[in-house]
Structure 1
Amino acid sequence: METSVMTPIYLLNGWGMNQHVLTPLQQALELPEQQLLCMRDYIAKDLAHSLQHLRARIPPQSIVIGWSLGVMLALQLALSHPLRAVITLGNECARILRPGGYFLFSSVLEGSLYELKNSWAQVDDAQHVNHFRTASAYTQLCQASPLVIQHLHAQEYVYFYDHLRQLRHELKQLGANHLHAGRRPHLAAKDRLQRLQAAYDTYRRPQGLPATWHIIHLLLRKPS
């Protein structure tokens, strides 16, 4: 007989109040109290350490519901942790803007780090690079919000590295080195890293090993 496994849901509050501001929602969803997180408990000396704490607490493929600054942490977490969904409460960006105010943000697009993704594909069939949204997906999300798109611009950025380990170290510092569920424990074995290096070397240019990022820049405005 098949058994259904419910997707775990975690609640992450804002800075100004403790986690109990979300207690009514936790009770309505019938969630265990340990899934009601206090955002202040996960603020470390920098963003990378804060996200590391959250990754250790929140299982992959969870749903995270954020409020206020908890929204910002949840969205950052989603870039390096395989969440099923991030739900934002209260249209936070629109709420904190005054009428006529502007909101500028940037995010990573589909196609980023394609050199790393293709190189890993020469080694195994596991997923090593996060999924990123398309520009059209961001446009649809913004159009569904209370804000109005004033400007949208997608741009490619290419950075170069002398060695693959430099890129891997930088991705780790960004919190973007998480390997998705289903990885095998021997992926980092020496022979696999050598095969990865050999595959990545085919992209080498005179400037070094390239890492390409596709970034979308959006300027939104709150109606007066």
Structure 2
Amino acid sequence: MNSLFMASNPSTLYKQQLAKSFGRAAVTYDQHAGFQHQVLASLISMLPKSSFRRTADLGCGTGNALPALITMSDELMALDLSVEMLNVAREKTPNATFICADAEHLPFPSDSVDLFFSSLAIQWTTSHFSLFKEINRALEKGGYWCFSTLCDGSMQEIADSWEKVDGRLHSNQYPHFEEILANLVPSGFVIEDQKCTVITMHFDSVQSAVYSVKKVGASVITDSAHKSYVTPSIWREFVGSYHALHDGIGIPLSYSVAYVVARKV
């Protein structure tokens, strides 16, 4: 197949910013995605032991899930906001259909997909409830919605370090695990498996910890009110504040990760 379809262009400034950020990170993503690889492996291990007629990977990025998904799918579709990310993914798994589209506005008919998969992408959507309703619309009855996403407490070390420097938020805020689960049932899903775990990565410097976020494209601030200009002197203060958290192993950066397997009722 090796096709790339432009289903739609990002319709809001925020989505356009996301597409640009992840597009710039396409060439550096895989070298800095140690955390993302861990989460992906855990999510894949939770997938139902079954084969699927049509599978869609939402926010596929550079396509690291595609080799596993294609072995269980008659037809595999990979969606992302970034054309650059999709171009990298096509090099890894050409026998899929690649679609530049927004997961909140799926280019699929109702009841047409039997597995939706997404690892660490839905935290960028504007509404979990609206997203879940849209996925439920496109899923066949009995189809699966399997995803991982970030929860409250993720990257707390960065938030705490900035708090000591200027009292401002310089990172995104994420919902509680219970809030994510609560949006699934009214969206038409039954939860078959779920867990929330903390993963702590360690780095040899503050710069490396921050780059692990920036170089995968995940540095977009979803709330413009939290954006602020950082002078060199303020940055040095932040580095000193964050470096003080060195725990003997390295500079820690922790993530709270939700994993969910849900089924359309």
Question: Shared fold by TM > 0.5?
Answer: yes
1:68 aligns with 2:106: yes
CA contact (8 A) 1:115 1:212 kept: yes
> Corresponding residue for 2:159?
117
> Corresponding residue for 2:49?
none
Shift of 1:93: 2.2
> Corresponding residue for 1:202?
244
CA contact (8 A) 1:101 1:221 kept: yes
2:188 to 143, 146, 153: 146
The structure with the largest strand share of the pair is 2
Q: Which has the larger radius of gyration?
A: 1
One-letter amino acid matched to 2:199: Y
TM (norm. structure 2) is: 0.54
> Corresponding residue for 1:181?
224
Q: C-alpha deviations, 1:93-112, integer Å up to 9, x for none?
A: 22343332322111100011
Question: What is the CA–CA distance in structure 2 between the aligned matches of 1:212 and 1:160, rounded to whole Å?
Answer: 9
2:84 to 33, 41, 45: 45
Shift of 1:151: 1.4
Q: Matched residue of 1:119: which SS?
A: helix
Deviates more, 1:105-114 or 1:166-175: 166-175
Question: What is the CA–CA distance in structure 2 between the aligned matches of 1:204 and 1:69, rounded to whole Å?
Answer: 46
Q: What are the equivalent positions in structure 2 for 1:1-224 lying under 5 Å apart?
A: 43-46=82-85, 66-68=104-106, 76=121, 79=124, 85=127, 88=130, 91-179=133-221, 180-182=223-225, 183-185=227-229, 187=230, 189-223=231-265
Question: What is the CA–CA distance in structure 2 between the aligned matches of 1:194 and 1:216, rounded to whole Å?
Answer: 33
Question: What is the CA–CA distance in structure 1 between the aligned matches of 2:132 and 2:199, rounded to whole Å?
Answer: 33
Shift of 1:195: 1.1
Q: C-alpha deviations, 1:16-41, integer Å up to 9, x for none?
A: 8557xxxxxxxxxxxxxx8699999x
Assess, with a 3 A threshold, how the Cα gap between structure 1 residues 204 and 125 changes in structure 2: closer, same or farther.
same
CA contact (8 A) 1:66 1:87 kept: no
CA contact (8 A) 2:132 2:183 kept: no
Q: Matched residue of 1:122: which SS?
A: helix
Assess, with a 3 A threshold, how the Cα gap between structure 1 residues 217 and 86 changes in structure 2: closer, same or farther.
closer
Shift of 1:69: 5.6
CA contact (8 A) 1:66 1:86 kept: no
Question: What is the CA–CA distance in structure 1 between the aligned matches of 2:107 and 2:144, rounded to whole Å?
Answer: 18
Provide the alpha-carbon RMSD of the alignment: 3.8
CA contact (8 A) 1:112 1:213 kept: yes
Q: Matched residue of 1:213: which SS?
A: strand
CA contact (8 A) 2:154 2:256 kept: yes
Shift of 1:173: 2.4
